[in-house]
């Protein structure tokens, strides 16, 4: 038993398994030895005398999780029971039913079937409730349990009972599992005279090939193409080699794209463009935001370092780490960060500080300075800073709460029951705002505004303390006013609410491709990119040394 092993011979056995170390590292071996013995002794005492029984697996996972969590959010311990689901989630050839699903009001709902996926082919639609799979009721099941049931071997069938949107009785459906192939380029086309647009949502297989095809098609349609907008907003990354393939379209063959560097120098690698470029001259604007991460940051950082594109938007997420998975015994795994990505200027895009699992914003004055090919100053650490910064309009609190509490989703369920079709993306306009207000009135605003929550907490504290009855009365009066204000806030956010409803409905009828097309004409960053690509002097000046 583990708790009986507590002496130095056991620690020495561990140390024998460690890689050869330098003289400086050997000085730390005493501290490692000492602290491992302390750890084992603590476990021995807890296991022997703690009042309740201790589950060794739970106790050790808690300890290991605390250790890995102190490093970065991407270094994780995977237990034997988690290994199968881990490998499935890490595989870019994910097998499933091809739909975004979720639990809403304790019901397992189809949120969005992906175009061309198994769910849509089987007839499932957004708003349908899946009540059982293979005869097993889903009520009370967690998302992890349900997802484990949905995954499986491609070509195998899933028997499910489904209450279709607007119906009350369940109906039998058979969905054949298949490879989920969410298009990585959901939309491409011209957004202005001679200016093309390509949306890349994820760096999955053939991302570079799909961008090349989209660009080729646009050049065929308009040989006098003036510029291209590559949209990497909300793109969390993916396959490194696809980032290299995309860079290869716009910079010369043989140029360094990214270098990985870690503790073991022999494992450092440099990745270069391997093919002839498609276009070295076409003016390029890349859109990024705080959700652009990993491979998105590599592409945008490389294009910035070579002065090949103007970046527009907000500073990116700041994830420039490479993870590898190692076996650690008994079919368990450790996913650990082994190196960092460096773009051609020599800067690392990785955020070096974390807060609640998110990269912490580092002030520019604390970031190291590097130079682009043209001598422009760029900064490392904490993501990629765009050349043209644009503020993001924050959604009103009431709109965010309506979204988070599924009001738009629920309203779309009712709307699609009454409307078989709507106008095409870019033409559709939602004109039934009063109907939505009536829907909200009927459903009730069962959510708290931030100020409402604060006042409720104050009232609770005042009632507990039995002090300041006058302040308590005033606080209750204030709470009533805030609650009544919700309706006024709803009406004041009419334009933002209409946009949210339009987006929800466009996805229902025309999927993600339709939503992307629908939002192009009113996107301030796309409009700014168009303006920039039409202003040759400003574009060139941004890429020149100040």
76 located within any domain: no
104 located within any domain: yes
Can you tell me the distance from the alpha carbon of 307 to that of 310, in angstroms, rounded to the nearest whole number?
Answer: 7
Task: Write out 151-191 in H/E/C secondary structure.
Answer: CCCCCCEEEEEEECCCCCCCEEEEEECEECCCCCCCEEEEE
Q: Looking at residue 215, which CATH number applies to its domain?
A: 3.90.226.10
Can you tell me the distance from the alpha carbon of 526 to that of 230, in angstroms, rounded to the nearest whole number?
Answer: 10
Residues 407 and 502 both lie in one domain: yes
Contact 203, 238 (CB under 8 A): yes
Residues 46 and 28 both lie in one domain: yes
Residues 402 and 386 both lie in one domain: no
* Residue whose C-alpha is closest to residue 440's, from 502, 396, 482, 398: 398
Domain that holds residue 307: 187-391
Please give the pLDDT value at position 32: 86
CA atoms within 13 A on the CB side of 6: 12
113 located within any domain: yes
Please give the pLDDT value at position 468: 83
60 located within any domain: no
Please give the pLDDT value at position 267: 86
Strand partners of residue 229: 197, 285
Can you tell me the distance from the alpha carbon of 2 to that of 41, in angstroms, rounded to the nearest whole number?
Answer: 10
Can you tell me the distance from the alpha carbon of 308 to that of 306, in angstroms, rounded to the nearest whole number?
Answer: 5
- Give φ, ψ of 162 to 5 degrees: -135, 135
- Give φ, ψ of 173 to 5 degrees: -130, 150
Report helix, strand or coil for 470. helix
Please give the pLDDT value at position 355: 67
Residues 30 and 165 both lie in one domain: no
Residues 6 and 154 both lie in one domain: no
Residues 270 and 293 both lie in one domain: yes
Structure tokens at 202: 């994820």
Q: Looking at residue 159, which CATH number applies to its domain?
A: 2.30.42.10
Domain final position from 373, 391, 409? 391
Residues 150 and 217 both lie in one domain: no
Residues 315 and 426 both lie in one domain: no
Structure tokens at 418: 């009454």
pLDDT tens for the chain, 546 residues long, are 333 334 344 444 444 445 544 545 556 788 888 888 888 888 888 888 888 888 888 888 888 888 888 887 778 787 765 554 444 334 444 457 888 899 999 999 999 998 888 999 999 999 999 999 999 999 988 887 888 788 777 888 999 999 999 999 999 999 998 876 678 998 999 999 999 999 999 998 899 999 999 999 999 999 999 999 999 999 998 889 999 999 999 999 999 999 999 888 888 899 999 999 999 999 999 999 999 999 999 999 999 999 999 999 999 988 888 777 888 888 788 888 888 889 999 999 886 666 666 666 777 787 889 999 999 999 887 789 999 999 988 899 999 999 999 999 999 999 999 999 999 999 999 999 999 999 999 999 989 999 999 999 989 988 888 878 888 899 899 989 998 899 999 999 999 999 999 999 999 999 988 998 899 988 999 999 999 999 999 999 999 986
Can you tell me the distance from the alpha carbon of 355 to that of 350, in angstroms, rounded to the nearest whole number?
Answer: 14
Q: How far apart are the first and last CA of the chain?
A: 67
pTM recorded for the entire structure = 0.80
Residues 293 and 254 both lie in one domain: yes
Residues 269 and 253 both lie in one domain: yes
Structure tokens at 541: 């000046």
Can you tell me the distance from the alpha carbon of 184 to that of 204, in angstroms, rounded to the nearest whole number?
Answer: 7
Residues 49 and 150 both lie in one domain: no
* Residue whose C-alpha is closest to residue 299's, from 350, 257, 252: 257
464 located within any domain: no
296 located within any domain: yes
Contact 314, 386 (CB under 8 A): yes
| Domains: count for the chain | 4
Q: Residue 238 has what DSSP assignment?
A: B
Burial of residue 266 (number of CB atoms within 10 Å: 0-12, 13-18, 19+): exposed
127 located within any domain: yes
Residues 385 and 437 both lie in one domain: no
CA atoms within 13 A on the CB side of 89: 9
534 located within any domain: no
């Amino acid at each position: 038993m583990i708790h009986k092993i507590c002496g130095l011979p056991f620690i020495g056995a561990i140390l024998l398994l460690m890689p050869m170390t330098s003289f400086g590292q050997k000085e730390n071996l005493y501290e490692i030895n000492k602290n491992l013995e302390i750890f084992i002794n603590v476990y021995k005492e807890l296991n022997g005398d703690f009042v309740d029984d201790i589950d060794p697996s739970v106790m050790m996972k808690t300890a290991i999780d605390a250790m890995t969590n102190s490093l970065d959010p991407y270094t994780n311990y995977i237990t034997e029971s988690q290994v199968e689901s881990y490998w499935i989630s890490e595989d870019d050839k994910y097998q499933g039913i091809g739909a975004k699903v979720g639990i809403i009001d304790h019901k397992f709902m189809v949120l969005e079937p992906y175009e061309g996926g198994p769910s849509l082919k089987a007839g499932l639609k957004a708003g349908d409730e899946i009540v059982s799979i293979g005869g097993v009721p889903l009520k009370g099941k967690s998302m992890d349990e349900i997802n484990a049931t949905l995954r499986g071997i491609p070509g195998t069938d899933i028997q499910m009972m489904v209450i279709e949107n607007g119906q009350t009785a369940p109906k039998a459906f058979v969905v054949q599992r298949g490879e989920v192939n969410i298009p990585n380029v959901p939309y491409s086309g011209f957004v202005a005279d001679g200016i093309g647009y390509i949306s890349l949502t994820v760096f999955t297989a053939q991302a570079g090939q799909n961008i090349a095809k989209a660009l080729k098609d646009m050049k065929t349609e308009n040989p006098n193409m003036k510029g291209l907008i590559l949209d990497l907003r909300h793109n969390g990354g993916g396959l490194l080699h696809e980032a290299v393939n995309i860079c290869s379209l716009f910079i010369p063959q043989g140029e360094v794209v990214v270098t990985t560097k870690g503790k073991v120098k022999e494992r450092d690698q440099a990745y270069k463009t391997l093919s002839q470029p498609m276009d070295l001259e076409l003016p390029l604007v890349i859109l990024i935001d705080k959700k652009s991460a990993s491979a998105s940051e590599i592409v945008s950082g490389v294009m910035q370092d070579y002065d090949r594109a103007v970046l527009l938007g907000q500073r990116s997420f700041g994830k420039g780490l490479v993870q590898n998975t190692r076996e650690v015994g008994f079919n368990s795994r450790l996913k650990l960060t082994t190196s960092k990505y460096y773009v051609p200027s020599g800067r690392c895009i990785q955020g070096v500080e974390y807060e609640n699992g998110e990269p912490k914003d580092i002030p520019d004055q604390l970031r190291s300075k590097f130079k682009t090919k043209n001598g422009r100053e760029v900064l490392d650490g904490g993501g990629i800073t765009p050349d043209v910064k644009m503020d993001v309009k924050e959604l009103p609190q009431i709109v965010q709460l309506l979204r988070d509490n599924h009001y738009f989703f629920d309203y779309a369920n009712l709307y699609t029951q009454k409307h078989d079709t709507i106008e095409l993306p870019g033409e559709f306009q939602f004109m039934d705002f009063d109907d939505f207000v009536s829907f909200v009135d009927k459903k009730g605003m069962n959510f708290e505004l931030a100020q409402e929550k604060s006042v409720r907490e104050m009232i609770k504290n005042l009632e507990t303390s039995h002090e300041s009855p006058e302040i308590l009365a005033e606080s209750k009066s204030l709470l009533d006013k805030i609650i009544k204000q919700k309706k006024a806030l709803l009406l004041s956010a009419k334009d933002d609410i209409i946009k949210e409803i339009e987006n929800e409905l466009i996805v229902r009828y025309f999927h993600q491709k339709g939503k992307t097309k629908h939002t192009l004409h009113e996107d301030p960053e796309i409009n700014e990119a168009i303006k920039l690509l039409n202003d040759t002097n400003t574009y060139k000046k941004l890429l020149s040394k100040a």
